[in-house]
């Protein structure tokens, strides 16, 4: 069979196929149309919901924002008795506890994902992945209870050591001084880290696994170590997805409510030490919403919700910017 014969056969085949499909087309085109519109509608629904949430938060929080103005963002008083509200303590609490969580969770997740995708023997891969995914299925209230009843007492026992050693370091020492209560910003950050590790680790594992073996094996063939392959081949290849996974974890840490409420200590004051109790936006809303009787009080809590929304939005926008800059940098290099 020469080339032209192959082409002719191909055409004949295609022709027959198109006849068969055209018979079905009238039926399937309606289904196709409905399917396309249907999926488009649900996708659009998400956008509408998002906008609706934003608008209703602005409406409900307007009274507080109007009464306190920009000072709402920078004052630390939160006094339901005199109806004076400021959000700074909670904004700082949210950002600091999430930052601690990310500092711990990102390297650990990277290690887990690298172990599963590159280093672990085949028979161990499944069980380890399953265990990590099970961690993600535990309800956050269980993490809260575990944090309060199991982790906090244990952590309280090692806090004197933290005071003596980390607290003695000049400069950052002040971050690690405080009474050994076992609860506080650091505890909240650590438990948050445990909660978000499964999300970040499983996304990292999935994308590490799809890095083309040809790329990796070429690097190994050139004498690269596992670390060099991870650093120079896998990470650059999967950068977008890895960043996405990290920010998914961060989004969850910022908004986590129940677990944080149990272990952050719920004190409305700013302190330099991470061992001292604090409060986060989500925790104060969870704590106080049910008994918020005056309209300004309720409005202030909803304005806090709006701030959390905006913080999450900014974080996601920064992530996108970061990715764009990375890509641009890559372009100039080549």
Partner 1 sequence: MKLNRRTFTKAALSIAIAGSMGGAMIANAMAGVSLTGAGSTWVYPLVAKWSAAYEKETGNKVNYQSIGSGGGIAQIKAGTVAFGASDMPLKPEELHKEGLIQFPTAVAGEDLIVNLPGIKPGTVILSGPVVADIYLGKIKKWNDPALVKLNPDVKLPDMDITVVHRSDGSGTTFTFADYLSKVSPEWKEKVGANTSLNWPAGVGGKGNEGVAAYVQRIPGSIGYVEYAYILENKLNYARMINRDGKVVSPSLKGFQDAAAHVDFNKAEDFYVILTDHTGPDTWPISGCTWQILRKNAPKATNEEVTKFFLWGFDKGQSMAESIAFGPLPPSTVDVIKAYWKKNLGV
Site for partner 1 in 162-191 (CB under 8 A): 179, 181-183
HEC per residue, 190-216:
HHHHHHHHHHHHHHHHHHHHCCCHHHH
Phi and psi torsions of 82, nearest 5°:
-100, 5
The answer for residues whose C-beta is within 8 angstroms of residue 86's C-beta and 6 or more apart is: 68, 71, 72, 73, 74, 75, 76, 77, 78
Burial of 7-25, coded b for 16+ CB within 10 Å and e otherwise, reads eeeeeeeeeeeeeeeeeee
Q: Which two tokens stand for residue 314?
A: 């900014």
Q: How far is the CB of 274 from partner 1 (least distance, A)?
A: 14
Closer by beta carbon to partner 1, 290 or else 334: 290
Which residue of 92, 101, 112, 148 would you call a contact of partner 1, by CB under 8 A?
148
Closer by beta carbon to partner 1, 126 or else 153: 153
The single-letter DSSP state of residue 178 is S
**Residue 174 half-sphere exposure toward CB, CA atoms < 13 A:** 3
Residue 90 near partner 1 by CB under 8 A: no
Residue 77 near partner 1 by CB under 8 A: yes
Q: How far is the CB of 51 from partner 1 (least distance, A)?
A: 26
Which residue of 98, 117, 211, 266 would you call a contact of partner 1, by CB under 8 A?
266
Residue 288 near partner 1 by CB under 8 A: yes
Which residue of 293, 329, 332, 333 would you call a contact of partner 1, by CB under 8 A?
293
Please say whether the beta carbons of 198 and 150 come within 8 A.
no
Residue 289 near partner 1 by CB under 8 A: yes
Please say whether the beta carbons of 260 and 184 come within 8 A.
no
Closer by beta carbon to partner 1, 245 or else 265: 265
Residue 60 near partner 1 by CB under 8 A: no
Residue 286 near partner 1 by CB under 8 A: yes
- 275 closest CA partner among 153, 187, 158: 187
Site for partner 1 in 244-263 (CB under 8 A): 261-262
Q: Which two tokens stand for residue 328?
A: 């641009």
Q: How far is the CB of 109 from partner 1 (least distance, A)?
A: 29
Q: How far is the CB of 57 from partner 1 (least distance, A)?
A: 18
Which residue of 1, 46, 81, 222 would you call a contact of partner 1, by CB under 8 A?
81
**Three-class SS state of 334:** coil
Residue 137 near partner 1 by CB under 8 A: no
List interacting residues with partner 1 (CB under 8 A). Answer: 77-82, 148-149, 152-153, 156, 179, 181-183, 261-262, 265-268, 277, 279, 283, 286-293, 298
């Amino acid at each position: 069979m020469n080339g032209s014969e192959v082409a002719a056969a191909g055409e004949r085949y295609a022709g027959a196929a198109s006849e068969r499909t055209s018979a079905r087309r009238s039926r399937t085109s309606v289904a196709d149309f409905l399917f396309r519109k249907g999926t488009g509608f649900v996708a659009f629904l998400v956008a509408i919901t998002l906008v609706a949430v934003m608008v209703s938060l602005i409406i409900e929080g307007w009274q507080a924002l109007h009464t306190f103005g920009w000072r709402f963002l920078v004052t630390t008083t939160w006094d339901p008795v005199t109806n004076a509200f400021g959000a700074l303590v909670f904004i700082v609490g949210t950002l600091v506890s999430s930052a601690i969580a990310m500092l711990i969770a990102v390297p650990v997740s990277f290690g887990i994902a690298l172990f599963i995708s590159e280093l672990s023997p085949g028979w161990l891969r499944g069980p380890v992945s399953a265990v990590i995914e099970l961690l993600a299925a535990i309800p956050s209230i269980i993490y809260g209870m575990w944090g309060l009843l199991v982790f906090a007492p244990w952590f309280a026992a090692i806090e004197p050591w933290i005071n003596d050693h980390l607290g003695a370091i000049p400069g950052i020492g002040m971050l690690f001084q405080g009474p050994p209560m076992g609860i506080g910003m650091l505890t909240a950050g650590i438990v948050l880290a445990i909660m978000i590790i499964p999300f970040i680790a499983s996304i990292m594992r999935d994308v590490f696994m799809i890095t083309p073996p040809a790329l990796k094996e070429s690097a190994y063939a050139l004498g690269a170590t596992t670390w060099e392959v991870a650093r120079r081949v896998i990470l650059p290849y999967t950068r977008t997805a890895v960043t996405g996974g990290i920010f998914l974890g961060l989004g969850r840490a910022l908004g986590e409510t129940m677990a944080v409420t149990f272990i952050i200590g719920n004190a409305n004051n700013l302190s330099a030490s991470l061992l001292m109790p604090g409060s986060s936006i989500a925790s104060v809303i969870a704590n106080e919403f049910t008994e918020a009787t005056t309209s300004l009080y309720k409005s202030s809590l909803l304005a806090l919700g709006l701030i959390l929304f905006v913080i999450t939005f900014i974080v996601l926008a920064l992530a996108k910017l970061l990715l764009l800059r990375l890509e641009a940098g890559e372009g100039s290099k080549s």
